[in-house]
């Protein structure tokens, strides 16, 4: 059976980009693959902004709750918290030693997140190696992620391949799976940058748990342009195109059909319709989330079981990697 692995950082409240660019795919893949999903808290602490420990803990629980609410099924899939397994950090160290400084320095996400900052942690620089460890520990074949993660998955593949070449076949080589629709949901106020938990302004981001009124307001004030035509053109009309992509993704309809239907009716009517469709799409997720929030014991049990199942796969892989590299097994001489 195909093995799938993906992760999300507890770096803020999940938004429409996370839902459409990642979760929808995660949930769908459970029908045809063996899926492992992870709350990557060790990645979240690499953020260039200092994090608050109590907030991180809360966001970790909230994100796991959100994953269950969108439809990650703990009976079929593994859901766990990255820091519950020491194997991830340990494997990252081994992989660090087969990764070059040059390949990390040119990673687009690192460049974006470190640009203009005086102080950047070594953790942020090393972020993609920890991500490679996440994926390689589970022999994942497929990694469903948004377009922004393309380079990280390619790097994981390169690192795995190099390790195998030098030390023998330990790791499977993963490939990225991108959603066909809404692979990159853009910020509503700045449609040339992606909607992001940690970088978008409050008005630019639609959160999965936002209430209907707030969602309507955010879409009403979304940046478009001065012309009034509704057509898909990412370069000339980034704002309108972003709204069309969101509209298509939440309704399952084609972009062209939606553009034809709303062209000529003005931006007001168009934005109102997009907002309404988003509210409808989020409603069942919000209801399920509220139920789960009342039962935190259940979330804790799911995560505990998930960590056990994850370790049963990750620990033997780490042991093989250590042995392949020539690290002396304990008890031997
Ligand atoms: P941060 O701002 O902290 O980097 P983020 O909002 O970019 O967070 P991540 O936790 O890095 O989100 O990403 C989780 C998943 O959501 C990834 O698979 C990523 O590709 C996807 N994703 C994030 N933002 C978007 C977006 N705007 N459009 C589509 N997919 C997205
Ligand atoms: N870097 C990813 C989150 C992430 C991930 C992973 C995704 C960490 N480890 C392993 C897929 C597989 C992000 O920012 N979206």
* Minimum CA distance residue for ligand 2 atom 6: 7
Q: Is 66 exposed, middle or buried (0-12, 13-18, 19+ CB in 10 A)?
A: buried
Each residue's pLDDT tens digit, 48-57: 888 999 999 9
Residue with tokens 């109102």: 272
- Please name which ligand lies nearest the alpha carbon of 67: 1
Asked if pLDDT for residue 181 goes beyond 80, the answer is: no
Residue with tokens 């796969």: 313
Per DSSP, the three-state class of 273 is helix
What's the mean per-residue pLDDT of the chain? 95
- Please name which ligand lies nearest the alpha carbon of 204: 1
41 alpha carbon – ligand 1 mean position (Å)? 14
The mean pLDDT of 310-327, rounded to a whole number, is 98
Residue 264 pLDDT: 93
Q: Is 59 in the pocket of ligand 1 (CB under 6 A)?
A: no
Each residue's pLDDT tens digit, 133-173: 999 999 999 999 988 899 999 999 999 999 999 999 999 99
pTM: 0.93
Query: Closest ligand 1 atom to the C-alpha of 14?
Result: 6
- Please name which ligand lies nearest the alpha carbon of 152: 2
Q: Rounded to 5 degrees, what are φ and ψ at 185?
A: -80, 125
Q: Is 12 in the pocket of ligand 2 (CB under 6 A)?
A: no
- The rounded distance, in Å, linking the Cα atoms of 25 and 76 is 15
Residue 285 pLDDT: 97
N-term to C-term CA, the chain: 39
Residue 247: C-alpha distances to residues 151, 187, 195, 274 (Å): 27, 14, 15, 5
Q: What is the share, in percent, of the chain residues with pLDDT greater than 70?
A: 99
Ligand 1 pocket, mutate which of 25, 28, 55, 196 (most atoms under 8 A from CB): 196
Confidence of residue 230 (pLDDT cuts 50, 70, 90): very high
293 alpha carbon – ligand 2 mean position (Å)? 25
306 alpha carbon – ligand 1 mean position (Å)? 23
Q: Is 38 exposed, middle or buried (0-12, 13-18, 19+ CB in 10 A)?
A: buried
Query: Closest ligand 2 atom to the C-alpha of 152?
Result: 1
Per DSSP, the three-state class of 72 is coil
CA angle 225-227-231, nearest 5°? 85
Query: 150-167 and 122-136 are packed helices; what angle lies between their axes, rounded to 10 degrees?
Result: 70
Each residue's pLDDT tens digit, 259-295: 999 999 999 999 999 999 999 999 999 999 999 999 8
6 alpha carbon – ligand 2 mean position (Å)? 6
């Amino acid at each position: 059976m195909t093995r799938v692995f993906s992760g999300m950082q507890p770096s803020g409240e999940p938004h429409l980009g996370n839902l459409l660019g990642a979760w929808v795919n995660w949930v769908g893949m459970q029908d045809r693959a063996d899926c492992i999903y992870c709350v990557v808290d060790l990645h979240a602490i690499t953020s260039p902004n200092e994090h608050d420990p109590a907030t991180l803990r809360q966001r970790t629980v909230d994100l796991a709750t959100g994953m269950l609410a969108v439809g990650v099924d703990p009976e079929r899939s593994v859901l766990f918290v990255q820091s519950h397994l020491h194997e991830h950090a340990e494997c990252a160290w081994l992989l660090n030693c087969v990764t070059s400084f040059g390949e990390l320095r040119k990673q687009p996400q690192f460049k974006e997140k470190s640009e203009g900052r005086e102080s950047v942690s070594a953790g942020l620089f090393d972020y993609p190696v920890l991500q490679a460890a996440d994926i390689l520990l589970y022999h994942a074949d497929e990694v469903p992620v948004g377009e922004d993660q393309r380079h990280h998955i390619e790097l994981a593949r390169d690192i795995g391949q190099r390790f195998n070449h030098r030390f023998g076949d330990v790791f499977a080589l993963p490939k990225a799976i991108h959603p066909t629709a809404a692979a990159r949901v853009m910020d509503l106020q700045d449609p040339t940058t992606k909607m992001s938990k940690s970088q978008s302004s409050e008005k630019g981001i639609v959160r999965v748990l936002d209430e209907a009124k707030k969602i309507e307001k955010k879409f009403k004030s979304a940046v478009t342009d001065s012309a009034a035509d509704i057509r898909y053109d990412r370069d000339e009309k980034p704002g309108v195109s972003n709204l069309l992509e969101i509209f298509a993704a939440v309704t399952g309809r084609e972009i062209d059909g939606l553009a034809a239907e709303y062209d000529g009716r003005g931006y007001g009517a168009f934005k109102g319709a997009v907002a309404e469709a988003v509210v409808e799409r989020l409603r069942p997720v919000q209801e399920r989330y509220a139920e789960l929030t009342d039962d935190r014991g259940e979330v804790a049990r799911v995560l505990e079981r998930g960590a056990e199942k994850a370790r049963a796969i990750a620990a033997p892989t780490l042991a093989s990697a250590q042995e392949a590299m020539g690290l002396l097994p304990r008890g031997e001489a």
